[in-house]
Amino acid sequence: MTKNKARKRENRRRAAALGISYTRAHFTRPDFAAAGRRMAQVPPDFRVPRGVKQALVRLRIQYTGEPLSAANAGTGRDGSLGLDMCSSRQRTLRAILALGLFNRGYHDVAPAADWGLHTVLAYSVTMSPQHNRLVIITDTPHNVAQYFFDAGLGFRLEEYPDNGVYVCQHLPTGAQLVIAIDASWKRRVSRGRPMGYQGIDVPLSEHERQRLESIPDMSSDAEKLLAGLTCRADSRDPDSKWALGNWFYDPLETPSSARDRLGSYDRTLWGASNRWTIRLKDLPHIDDIAQSLTANRVGIPGATWRDLGDHIVVSLGRATLAIYGPRRTPVPSSSAAQPIASDQGGA
């Protein structure tokens, strides 16, 4: 028996033990997450069966809108869509980016509003999270890259392999951020560094150190929640139950669109340790945010949400994210808010 045939036979055996199909490119279980949890327990050399991987990639595209090559690179080997499967340094970077992307106005409440990163979401951008990098796909890479370099957070240009591709390193975490016009970019010899961009040999400035020191401490669970917000900025439900629209517009165009009512994009995301709060005057709808973080298949593993009447609380472990603002589905007047259990621990 050849080595290739032996590997295929072993993968078929393992796939059968997990209750998933090796050959068919569709899901064979209604609760695929359960199979994913079991898959995480198999030996590290396990290869996701091709049919299962294809099904996961197609499902991920339905939620994220990524190009095929990007979704294929980011889909996890644990039976998940891979949106939250990343290195610890990547998770920290994504949580920091959430503060920049989702704060606008309210400078006295959230200093991160001064970073200017919220403007990135006004461009056409698609988040493509991968294990060791976050790829932002956009048709205006030069404009988008400028905002990250100007944010004062310690971004440096690591590689410039092609016109329209910026491979950046976040010095404080060592995590990689890629801004690309095309998801099919490949690592190759750099074309040199565009004028005005600092390389990774340039240390943090005093201004950058001060800005980074202003970031509140985050617990591990809170970091996962905030990182999840970044990865799902433009996600939407395939059945059109919810959509985030880069926190800028409503892809579902419902009559209750918050933008039609208020016309204000000011928002704040701030907190410390295990307690974080989002306050919105406009889009997205707060029930859409909660569902994107907790929905089956696309949500953060272990995250849940509760409707408390005047706001929604998303919980993960000891961390909570309270969300205030307009809703897609109004709360019935007879619904009563129920108290949420108090947090007894720290990070």
Residue with the bigger pLDDT between 35 and 232: it is: 232
113 in a structural domain: yes
54 in a structural domain: no
Examine the domain organization and report whether 230 and 197 are in the same domain.
Answer: no
Examine the domain organization and report whether 227 and 204 are in the same domain.
Answer: no
148 in a structural domain: yes
Residue 261 sits at φ, ψ, to 5 deg, of -85, -40
Residue with the bigger pLDDT between 253 and 136: it is: 136
CA 167 to chain centre: 18
- Is residue 52 pLDDT above 90, yes or no? no
Nearest to 75 by CA among 88, 63, 89: 63
306 in a structural domain: yes
Examine the domain organization and report whether 206 and 110 are in the same domain.
Answer: yes
What pLDDT digit, counting tens, does each position of 184-208 carry? 555 554 555 566 789 999 999 999 9
19 in a structural domain: no
In the predicted model, what is the mean pLDDT of the chain?
82
Examine the domain organization and report whether 207 and 120 are in the same domain.
Answer: yes
Q: How confident is the model at residue 38 (pLDDT cuts 50, 70, 90)?
A: very low
What pLDDT digit, counting tens, does each position of 4-30 carry? 666 666 666 655 554 444 443 333 333
Nearest to 130 by CA among 171, 62, 178: 178
Task: Give me the mean pLDDT over the 220-228 stretch.
Answer: 99
What pLDDT digit, counting tens, does each position of 169-179 carry? 999 999 999 99
43 in a structural domain: no
Examine the domain organization and report whether 245 and 296 are in the same domain.
Answer: yes
Q: Residue 184 has what pLDDT?
A: 59
39 in a structural domain: no
**Which residue shows structure tokens 């988040």?**
127
Examine the domain organization and report whether 178 and 226 are in the same domain.
Answer: no
Residue ranges making up the domain that contains 99: 88-214
Is residue 247 within 8 Å of 267, Cβ to Cβ?
yes
Examine the domain organization and report whether 177 and 292 are in the same domain.
Answer: no
Q: How confident is the model at residue 329 (pLDDT cuts 50, 70, 90)?
A: confident
- Is residue 227 pLDDT above 90, yes or no? yes
Nearest to 267 by CA among 284, 251, 253: 284
Q: Residue 185 has what pLDDT?
A: 57
26 in a structural domain: no
